[in-house]
Amino acid sequence: MENSSITVEALKKVSLILTVGTSAGTIDPGSAPQSVEFIFGIGVDGLTGFEYELAGKRAGDKGAVTVNQHTRPEIFGHILPCEIQSRLTADPCCIQYEICGISDPAPREIVRSMASATGGCGGGGCDCGCGGQ
């Protein structure tokens, strides 16, 4: 069992379940919960707005972030995979999250995540065909 005293902080691997709705407490029809993992704090432009939202939280914590089309790249940066980005059609939309796990990533995971964040793959609309990988 994971240590519940660990908080979201720099270079921790954060595992989330995301659901998409038009407002907090609603889920879009056909929008299945989506698992997302990322390394906290590796973005080239510093922390994203979403990372600020998650900072200091623990596994089991839940919340929601409402964003419009224009602020979504700034709020989520490299965190949302392409397949989730493509489903965000409502403007504004609400992304509800639950933190499922926080752990120390392997060094290889950090390097891979940094390469993806700086190379444009695996994030906001890169159109590279990576499928968010």
Task: Output 72 or 82, whichever has higher pLDDT.
Answer: 72
Please indicate, yes or no, if residue 124 is contained in any of the structural domains: no
- What the block records as the tokens of 70 is 């224009």
Q: What is the pTM of this model?
A: 0.82
pLDDT digits over 13-70, tens only?
Answer: 999 999 988 877 777 766 789 999 999 999 888 999 999 999 999 999 999 999 998 9
Q: What integer pLDDT is reported at residue 133 of this predicted model? A: 44
CATH code, domain with 76: 3.10.50.40
pLDDT digits over 108-121, tens only?
Answer: 999 998 888 776 54
Q: What integer pLDDT is reported at residue 83 of this predicted model? A: 77
Please indicate, yes or no, if residue 58 is contained in any of the structural domains: yes
CA distances from 21 to 17, 18, 37 (A): 13, 10, 20
Please indicate, yes or no, if residue 1 is contained in any of the structural domains: no
Domain that holds residue 98: 13-119
